[in-house]
């Protein structure tokens, strides 16, 4: 039976248990995340807001988590992004700082952002340089440079002088030497130089003092006091949010009849005027999607402008409904030939978000449009759109603040058309807008259709037609113990013979009611369609299959050894007892393989004393046609592949004992089941007559 520990259960299980399981995970790991938050923030109010937002974001992002990435690594990344958002949010800052923060982290505030984050992740969170480099999306060598310059800056704060005074050509070796990670021949040369250079001796000694202070910080973190009621306060806020959501759903009234009546009335008045409006926008608006909104009178031209350091941003229009607030913009670099786009998670914020916007949904992600004629016409102009949260009021003014823009660097060697995210560049400045918006009504249609996929019931509940998106809500009944559907991927939706593709970034889980798990899939908008016939085209399902098997492990035996499972021959490559203990299993044969990944755990000799287990994997992407893509060798445009599957080829486990110095001796490998993708071509027909 799977132990009741979140470290060793699957992302799927977390999704099924809901937000409560994420809260429990943060409760178990608060001792490492709490001081990490204090390195960015100033008040207890901000800290509670940090955990509150992080729990919500992790829960909503779970369907997008990659199984090849450690869960804690992905959570830490979200946590850091939230820290950045709150540290930049002046509305949550206070002139009174909490005492523990003044004592422990005041010096870190003087560092540059990249220096601070390198030091915080290494010495506060206690990550390895490789893990920290992965989170910050830099190389390990660049990570060492950031650590060096950070410690250099801290020397001044700690009274050692304003700069390092040793020989610059040896600065890059300080950290490796002090951490005993230097090659022997290089170490000898370094020590010979230090022996003959008095300045380097003094410099290295002061550098070592600061570095030891930071290393001791990791031990001090264990004694960092987390208030006893801290997590309970966060839980209370989450409970209040859920209560508010339920009350709002009960009070929500449908606007369908009103919308249809008003629309019919408007269409009946001055047919000539309406025709002229359509023709006018056809002549004057380049963006086809915005043109369609304007032609349907679902928005208005704004042409708000702001400029900073030669970069001009124009807000062209904003369309709001119950799904999102869609902002169309144009960015022009008046000084150079650069194109920039807005990134919701990097330097874009709504200062009055709490007053006018709903926090019950996530903004939709729109990738950069590099194919449109308008974005290829000029090298210094980019037209795009960004999704913000939906409005809670019928009318309002969005106070949009932009402090950072993402630079679009087209790279012909990258199949994505953009340089990889680890090399992203940004333009900073300050652009402020007050955007007037009116929320447009949406129409909801109750569906009453049920089918079965792999013998599992799938129920279609509701179709929402909003101005900016079409949303299909459905539920999956997972009451079987031997097999369940984790994800159902829909290819397209056809309404009244008009077909719209599913949005790759627009699927999400909603809630769970008894044995039914509810999901939503977003599609492009269907303006003014009154559905009569609906066809839902399935694409694939992602299954969890329960098929238990136990393999005894004996550290005295030689490895590798093999065993049979799910029609495949799997190799146990190594079982190495140490601190940590390492176990690796592999299967590089993927043709006709029944599974994509295994769900398992390693049980030690002391079965009643669970150890910490960290899992990592290597794998290969395979599209529907059987073509393989090695993600480590070439950039892969995932969204361009036809229904890709990710096969794990190597799964590695690190086991640490609960007590310092304790070694975990593996006793057996327990496999619970596996995950697999099955392609579908089913079409479900729904009639609303």
Same domain, 429 and 489: no
Higher pLDDT, 90 or 683: 683
Same domain, 525 and 376: no
In a shared domain, residues 513 and 526: yes
Cα–Cα dist 369/346, whole Å: 18
User: Does residue 293 fall inside a structural domain?
Assistant: yes
Q: Are residues 502 and 551 in the same domain?
A: no
pLDDT class of 432 with cuts at 50, 70, 90: very high
pLDDT digits (tens, 9 = 90+) for 505-538: 777 766 666 678 888 999 988 877 788 899 999 9
Give tens-digit pLDDT for 562-587.
999 999 999 999 998 888 889 999 99
> Residue 387 and residue 503: Cα distance in Å, rounded?
14
Q: Is residue 233 part of a domain?
A: no
Contact 617, 67 (CB under 8 A): yes
Please state the pTM of the whole predicted model. 0.58
Residue 552 and residue 654 in one domain: yes
Do 566 and 535 lie in one domain? The reply is no
User: Does residue 240 fall inside a structural domain?
Assistant: no
Same domain, 136 and 205: yes
Would you tell me how many other CB atoms lie within 10 Å of the CB of residue 1?
A: 6
Give the tens place of pLDDT for each residue, 34-61: 888 888 887 888 888 899 988 888 887 7
Are residues 557 and 640 both part of a single domain? yes
Q: Average pLDDT, whole number, for the chain?
A: 80
pLDDT at 512: 60
Backbone angles phi, psi at 294, to 5 degrees: -65, -40
Share of the chain above pLDDT 90, in %: 28
Boundary-marking domain end, from 233, 263, 284: 284
Name the residue with higher pLDDT: 18 or 9.
Answer: 18
φ and ψ at 528, to 5 degrees?
65, 15
Q: Is-cis flag, bond preceding 684, omega within 30?
A: no
Tokens of 386: 């960004």
Alpha helices (H) in 353-456, listed in sequence order: 353-356, 373-377
Assigned domain for 207 exists: yes
Give domain status of residue 593, yes or no.
yes
Residue 169 confidence (pLDDT): 82
Does residue 18 carry a pLDDT above 70? no
Q: Please check whether residue 530 lies inside any domain of the structure.
A: yes
- Whether 19 and 152 share a structural domain: yes
Asked if 23 and 163 sit in the same domain, the reply is yes
Domain that holds residue 361: 286-438
Q: Lowest mean pLDDT: which of 196-205, 405-414, 443-452?
A: 405-414
C-alpha neighbours within 13 Å on the C-beta side of residue 382: 23
The token pair at 622 is 């395979």
Record the tokens describing residue 162, joined without a space: 């304003």
Q: How many domains does the chain have?
A: 5
Strand partners, 520: 473, 508
């Amino acid at each position: 039976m799977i132990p009741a520990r979140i470290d060793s259960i699957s992302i799927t299980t977390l999704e099924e248990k809901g937000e409560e399981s994420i809260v429990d995970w943060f409760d178990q790991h608060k001792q490492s995340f709490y001081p990490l938050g204090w390195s960015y923030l100033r008040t207890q109010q901000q800290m509670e807001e940090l955990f509150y937002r992080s729990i919500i974001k992790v829960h909503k992002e779970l369907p997008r988590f990659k199984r090849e990435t450690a869960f804690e690594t992905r959570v830490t990344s979200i946590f850091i992004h939230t820290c950045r958002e709150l540290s930049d949010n002046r509305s949550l800052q206070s002139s009174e700082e909490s005492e523990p923060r003044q004592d422990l982290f005041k010096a870190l505030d003087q560092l540059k952002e990249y220096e601070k984050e390198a030091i915080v992740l290494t010495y506060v969170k206690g990550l390895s340089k490789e893990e920290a480099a992965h989170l910050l999306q830099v190389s390990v060598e660049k990570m060492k440079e950031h650590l060096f310059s950070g410690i250099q800056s801290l020397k001044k704060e700690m009274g050692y002088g304003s700069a390092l005074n040793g020989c610059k050509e040896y600065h890059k070796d300080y950290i490796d030497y002090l951490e005993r990670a230097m090659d022997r021949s290089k170490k000898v040369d370094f020590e010979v130089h230090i022996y003959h250079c008095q300045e380097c001796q003094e410099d290295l000694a002061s550098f070592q003092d600061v570095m030891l202070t930071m290393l001791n910080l990791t031990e001090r973190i264990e004694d960092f006091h987390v208030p006893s009621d801290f997590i309970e306060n966060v839980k209370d806020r989450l409970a209040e949010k859920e209560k508010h959501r339920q009350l709002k759903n009960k009070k929500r009234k449908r606007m369908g009849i009103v919308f249809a009546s008003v629309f019919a009335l408007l269409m009946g008045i001055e047919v000539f005027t309406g025709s002229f409006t359509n023709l006018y926008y056809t002549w004057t608006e380049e963006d086809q999607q915005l043109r369609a909104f304007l032609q349907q009178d679902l928005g208005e031209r704004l042409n708000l402008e702001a400029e900073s350091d030669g970069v001009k941003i124009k807000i062209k229009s904003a369309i709001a409904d119950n799904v999102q607030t869609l902002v169309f913009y144009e960015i022009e670099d008046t000084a150079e030939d650069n194109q920039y786009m807005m990134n919701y998670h990097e330097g874009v914020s709504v200062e009055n978000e709490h007053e006018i916007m709903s926090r019950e949904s996530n903004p939709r992600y729109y990738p950069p449009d590099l194919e449109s004629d308008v974005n290829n016409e000029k090298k210094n102009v980019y037209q795009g759109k960004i999704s913000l949260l939906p409005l809670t009021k019928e009318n309002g003014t969005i106070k949009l603040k932009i402090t950072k823009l993402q630079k679009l660097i087209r790279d012909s060697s990258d199949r994505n058309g953009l340089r990889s995210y680890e090399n992203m560049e940004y333009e900073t400045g300050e652009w402020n807008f007050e955007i007037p918006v009116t929320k447009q009504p949406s129409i909801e249609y109750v569906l009453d259709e049920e089918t079965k996929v792999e013998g599992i019931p799938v129920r279609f509940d509701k179709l929402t037609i909003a101005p900016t998106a079409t949303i299909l809500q459905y539920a999956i009944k997972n009451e079987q113990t031997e097999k369940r559907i984790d994800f159902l991927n829909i290819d397209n939706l056809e309404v009244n013979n008009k077909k719209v593709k599913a949005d790759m970034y627009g699927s999400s889980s909603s809630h769970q009611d008894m044995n039914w798990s509810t999901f939503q899939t977003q599609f492009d908008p269907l303006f003014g369609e009154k559905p009569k016939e609906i066809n839902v085209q399935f694409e694939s399902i992602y299954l969890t299959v329960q098929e238990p098997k136990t393999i005894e492990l004996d550290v005295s035996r030689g490895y590798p050894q093999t065993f049979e499972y799910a029609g495949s021959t799997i190799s146990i490559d190594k079982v190495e007892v140490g601190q940590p203990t390492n176990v690796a299993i592999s299967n590089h044969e993927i043709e006709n393989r029944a599974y994509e990944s295994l769900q398992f755990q390693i049980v030690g000799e002391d079965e009643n004393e669970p150890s910490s287990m960290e899992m990592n994997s290597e794998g290969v992407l395979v599209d529907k046609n059987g073509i393989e893509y090695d993600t480590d060798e070439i950039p892969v445009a995932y969204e361009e592949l036809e229904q890709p599957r990710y096969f794990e080829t190597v799964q590695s486990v690190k086991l640490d004992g609960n007590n310092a110095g304790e070694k975990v001796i593996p006793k057996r490998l327990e496999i619970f089941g596996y995950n697999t993708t099955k392609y579908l071509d089913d079409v479900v027909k729904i009639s609303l007559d």
